[in-house]
Every structure is written in C-alpha cells, then in structure tokens.
Structure 1
Amino acid sequence: MNISMENILAHISFFFLFMATAFYWGNLVSKTRKLNDFGKQSIKIAFIFITGFLITRWVQANHLPLSNLYESFMFLSWSLSLLHINLELKSRKNYWLGAITAPSAMLTHSFATLGLPKEMQQSTMLVPALQSHWLMMHVSMMILSYATLLCGSLLAITLLIITHDNTNKYIFSTNTKFSLLLLFLRKKNSYLYTQIESDSKNTFYLLSRNFRKCQLIQQLDQWSYRTISLGFPFLTIGILSGAVWANEAWGSYWSWDPKETWALITWFIYAIYLHIRMTKSWQGKQSAIVASSGFFIVWICYLGVNLSGIGLHSYGWLIR
C-alpha cells in the first residue's frame, strides 16, 4: 500500500510540475495573467504532493529519504519547488522567473521517476556509516545548496543568452538618456512626445526595446546574485557538517575523497563569484560567466561523482 501511494504521489506531483512549466512558458508568449496564476497554483499543488511523497517514504523507511539517487533527486525537486515559491513571493512582477525555475523542478523530477530503473527507486536500508544524526543536517543542506546554486546559475546562463544578441547595442549605449526621456514622455502622453514620435518611430522602437532588454538583464543579474548568496551558506554548512560526520565515521575530517574534492571546488567557484561581485563590482556578463560555470561544477559534484562509482560517497546511490 505504501509503495502504491508513493507512486501515486510521485506521478501526480510530476503532472502538476509539467502543467506549471507549460503555463509559465505559455505566459512568456501571451503574457496573460491567468496563465501565470495557473502556473503558481500548479507548482504549489506539486510541492504539496512531493512533500506527501517524502513524508510517506520517511515513515516507511524510518529515516530521512536520502539513501539513494532516486530519493535525493526527489528531494532536489522538492527543494527547487520550495525555492520557486519563495522567489515568486518576493518577485511578483517578474513573470519570466517561473519559466526558469519550474522546468528545473520538473526535469529533476522526471529524471527520478522516468529515467531511473524501478530497482533504483526502491527504499534501501542505510549502511552503518549513514546511520547517524548528521545525515539530516549534512545531506539536506547539500541538496538545498545544490538547488539554490543551480537556480542562481541558470539565471546567469539566461543572462548570457540574452546578452549574446548585440543587436542595437550601440544605439542603446549611446542614447540611453534619450530613450528614457522618450519613455517618460510616452507615459505622460504629452504633445512633445507626439512630435518626436512622428519623426522617429523606428528609433523609439529600437530604444524602448533595448531599454526593456536592459531592465531584464539587470533583474536577472540581481536575482542570480541574491539566489547564489542564499545557497552559498547552505553549501558551507553542508561541507562543515560533513567534515564533522566524517570524523565520527572514519576518524578524519577530510580525506580528499572525490566527492569532498569536488564539493570544495564548487565552494571556491561560488566564493570567487561572490568576491568579485562584492569587491570588484563586476556585474552583468562578467560575473555571469563565473556563475554559469558553477552550474556544470555542481552537476559534476552531485551526479558525476556518484555515477562514476568511486570514493566513499558512492555507496547507497547506485546498484552495483
């Protein structure tokens, strides 16, 4: 009964994540408030069902459901959904945000439910080293950090994609004040704007389009920075708690295990990003390049090391 209930909860949550993604992407095209609202409600419902899945799994296994790759991906999807809901509350006007975060939760969920074989989806007993109260602290903090950092890096990647198109860049950079003036006059519906518009309709269109594009780039940059700033402390806590746990289990705080090494590399990448943002005042494309590189480093640390089947952290994740 528990297994069937888990399957029901997993598939229902995937359905609503898929619908949320469809609504948010549809909203990018039509910019309809209803689609955006449907997306918000869908991902909230999905979050509730994923929570129910994790609780059911927890009760059945009598431990935090993070004993294998399937459970960790479901927890990652739950973390991405939670992050999405929080970001939505803080950025109600950013209609584009859901189009980035919702697909992330859906894809991780689909990989867990559709990409992994049934054998890997079964709940397993914890090996002795994992039977510790540090399991909840270390693993949950690491997964939460992965979700937050991946989201921040995806925002940075989106920024790079948008800035890759340099069309009319010169016009915008040399006439920013003029474009702002035109936009101000347009809102006021003044006679002066009518006269200017009649003489330079094409110019105003280019300037206003680039102005909106610049606004979007600034928003992506700010939210990427805020999200990574939130995830970095989670990563730090996860690494420190893991070191304490390692000392209890193996008698050493640090053993240069592949997972530990890549976690340290991940920490340094995002530390460099935050450093250049705070001290060098690098914003936009320059800092986004550093943040986007962290996206691939996180996946190597989280998934690549486990799939390789090497190191002390490979047990319990893959059936070998």
Structure 2
Amino acid sequence: MGETRLWYSFFMGIAGLLTYIRWKYRWILSFSTLLSTVFVIINLLKPEIHDQSLMPALQSIWFIPHVTVYMFSYSVLGCAFIIALCGLVHHKEEYLVTADNLVYSGVAFLSIGMLLGSLWAKEAWGNYWSWDPKETWAVVTWMGYLLYIHLRLRRKFRKKMLYVILIFSFLALQMCWYGVNYLPSAQQSVHLYNRNN
C-alpha cells in the first residue's frame, strides 16, 4: 500500500501541473500539492518495509504496469474531483468542461488498468475476473464515471448533479483503493497482500 501512496503522490503533482498548464487554474497547483504532501506524510507516519520479497502473484510482468496505470488514473480523477468541488461552489461552466477532459483521460487509463489487472489475474490465479471485493468496487467506480460521461453527453442534465456524480464516483474510487481492505469480505480477497495495513 505504501508504494501506491508514493506513486499517487508523484502522479497527483504531475496531474495538477498538467491541469494548470492546460487550463491555467493556479489554485489546482495548491490543491494537488496539498494532496501529494498528505500522501507523503502518511508514508512517513506509517512506514512499510519496501525491500521485502514479493509473493509469487506479485512477481508478474503485469503487476507494475497495472498498479502504475491505476495510480495515474486515480490522480487524474483526483484532479477532476477537486474541479467538481470547486464547480459546486463557484457554478462555473468552464469547470465542467475541464472535468470532462480529466474524466475522459482518467477513465481511459482506468480501463487500461482494469485490462492489465485482468491479464495479471489470469496469469496469477487462472481467471481474468473473480468478483473479488476490490474488483467489484473497481467496476462500481468505473460505472460511476461512465454514468457521468453518458449524462454529460446528453447536455440537458443539471450541472450540480453532474458534479455530485463526480464526487460520489471519487468516493467509490477511494473505497476501491483502500477502503475495501477494511471490509470483512476483504479478508479472503486476493488483493489483500499485507494483513498489517
């Protein structure tokens, strides 16, 4: 879990910088830097042993691309979340257009991450998909963002509701990333690698 937090911290800074370069929202730099810093601090307060040997399932060629692509998508969707919060407060149309572009790229990377994960699962456990709790929450998250995309394309849907869908989709993403580890059903999960986290 510690490595994913470091990747997220790194990619959140990049996503915030790219969002600033493209749309000139100076405030996104502050929020993305704050989020990056929070995740670095969490890693400092809760250090994990990063040099331990990996279990066989994690030694797959698909593992690192799967996790890295997911963390990049999470950071891009994190910027969309920040934009959605600001959009609710400021009621600006341009924020929704920015969120659209972030969600399109974030969902593309999320989809690639799911594909890489299914290839990894086939190699590691013999099945492409097992409806494991983390996989189930990944689908819930993916469907939440797809719902946003489809409703956004209708153009007649209320903007406030679209921002709310983005916020709830991001909360589902957080549940998928680390919240699911605290569910009783996760104890039998193939995605729970370190029982101490």
Displacement, 1:307?
A: 4.0
Displacement, 1:281?
A: 4.0
Q: Could you tell me whether the CA contact under 8 Å between 2:8 and 2:71 is conserved in 1?
A: yes
Displacement, 1:122?
A: 3.8
Question: Equivalent residue of 1:293, what SS?
Answer: helix
TM-score by length of structure 2 reads: 0.90
1:289 and 1:75, CA in 2 relative to 1: closer, same or farther beyond 3 A? same
- Measured in 2, the distance between the counterparts of 1:147 and 1:121 equals 24
> Which amino acid in the other structure matches residue 80 of structure 2?
G
Most deviating of 97-106 and 269-278: 97-106
> Which amino acid in the other structure matches residue 143 of structure 1?
M
> Which amino acid in the other structure matches residue 177 of structure 2?
Y
Q: Could you tell me whether the CA contact under 8 Å between 1:150 and 1:298 is conserved in 2?
A: no
| 1:72 alignment partner in structure 2 | 4
| 2:180 alignment partner in structure 1 | 305
**Paired residues, number:** 194
Displacement, 1:283?
A: 5.7
2:166 counterpart of 1:291? yes
Q: Deviations over 1:45-81 (max 9, x none)?
A: xxxxxxxxxxxxxxxxxxxxxxxx1111011000101
Alignment of 1:87-102 (within 5 A): 87-92=19-24, 94-102=25-33
- Runs of 4+ that moved beyond 6 A: none
> Which amino acid in the other structure matches residue 82 of structure 1?
I
Displacement, 1:84?
A: 1.5
- Measured in 2, the distance between the counterparts of 1:77 and 1:283 equals 33
- Measured in 2, the distance between the counterparts of 1:141 and 1:230 equals 12
> Which amino acid in the other structure matches residue 133 of structure 1?
I
2:13 counterpart of 1:81? yes
Displacement, 1:136?
A: 2.0
1:219 and 1:123, CA in 2 relative to 1: closer, same or farther beyond 3 A? farther
Q: Rg larger in 1 or in 2?
A: 1
Percent identity of the aligned residues?
29
> Which amino acid in the other structure matches residue 103 of structure 1?
L
- Measured in 2, the distance between the counterparts of 1:157 and 1:85 equals 18
Structure 2, unpaired ranges of 5+: none
Q: Could you tell me whether the CA contact under 8 Å between 2:60 and 2:123 is conserved in 1?
A: no
| 2:144 alignment partner in structure 1 | 269
- Measured in 2, the distance between the counterparts of 1:230 and 1:72 equals 20
Q: Deviations over 1:155-209 (max 9, x none)?
A: 112222335xxxxxxxxxxxxxxxxxxxxxxxxxxxxxxxxxxxxxxxxxxxxxx
Structure 1, unpaired ranges of 5+: 1-68, 164-216
- Measured in 2, the distance between the counterparts of 1:160 and 1:121 equals 41
1:247 and 1:282, CA in 2 relative to 1: closer, same or farther beyond 3 A? same
Alignment of 1:173-188 (within 5 A): none
Q: Deviations over 1:235-289 (max 9, x none)?
A: 1011111111111111111111001000000000000001111134436312111
Q: Could you tell me whether the CA contact under 8 Å between 1:305 and 1:314 is conserved in 2?
A: no
- Measured in 2, the distance between the counterparts of 1:280 and 1:269 equals 17
2:70 counterpart of 1:138? no
1:153 and 1:85, CA in 2 relative to 1: closer, same or farther beyond 3 A? same
Question: Equivalent residue of 1:233, what SS?
Answer: helix
Displacement, 1:230?
A: 1.0
- Measured in 2, the distance between the counterparts of 1:243 and 1:101 equals 30
Q: Could you tell me whether the CA contact under 8 Å between 2:12 and 2:78 is conserved in 1?
A: no
- Measured in 2, the distance between the counterparts of 1:243 and 1:289 equals 30
- Measured in 2, the distance between the counterparts of 1:249 and 1:121 equals 23
- Measured in 1, the distance between the counterparts of 2:174 and 2:61 equals 26
Of 73, 85, 89, the match for 1:161 = 89
Aligned residues: CA RMSD: 1.8
1:140 and 1:285, CA in 2 relative to 1: closer, same or farther beyond 3 A? same
- Measured in 2, the distance between the counterparts of 1:223 and 1:100 equals 16
